Amino acid sequence: MSTTHRRRPALIALAIFAACGCLALGWWQWTRFQSVSGTFQNLGYALQWPMFAWFCIYAYRKFVRYEEVPPEPRNSMTEIPAGLLPEPPKPAPQPTDPALQEYNAYLAELAKHDAERQNRNRNTA
C-alpha cells in the first residue's frame, strides 16, 4: 500500500473540517449582518467564507489529481533576448601606482607562504 493512499483519509478529514469551519464562519457573519449592529462588511464576509470552503474542496481535488497523474514537466528552455538585461559592470582599471603594486605583490607572497604552512601542518597531523 502506497503512502499516498494511507494519508488520504486524513486529507479528506482535513478538507471536510476546513470546509465546515469556513461555512460555520460564513453563517456566523450572516447572523452578525442580520443583527442590529451588523454592517455591510459582515455581509461581505458572509459571502466570502463559502468561497473559501469551496476552495478547500477544490484544492483537495486538485491535489488528488496531481497525485494520480502528475503534470508533465516543462523542458523547454528559453533564452533571454539580447539587450533585455543591463550589461555587467566592467572591472575597474588596475592602478599604475608602483608602491601599490609592490604592496599587493607582498600580500600575495604572504598568502602563498601562509597556504604552504597550513598544508605542512595538515600533512604532519
In the chain, % of residues over pLDDT 90: 47
Q: How many whole angstroms separate alpha carbon 27 and alpha carbon 47?
A: 9
The closest of 6, 54, 4, 46 to 26, measured between CA atoms, is 46
Mean of pLDDT values over 48-76: 88
Q: Are 22 and 47 in contact (CB under 8 A)?
A: no
pLDDT in tens, 103-116: 999 999 999 999 98
Q: Give the pLDDT score at 71.
A: 76
pLDDT digits (tens, 9 = 90+) for 1-46: 455 555 688 889 999 999 999 999 999 999 999 999 989 999 999 9
- Four-residue CA torsion sign, 63, 67, 72, 74: positive
pLDDT given for residue 79 in this prediction: 82
pTM for this predicted structure: 0.52
User: What whole-number distance in Å separates Cα of residue 69 and Cα of residue 71?
Assistant: 6
Per-domain residue ranges of the chain = 3-68, 96-125
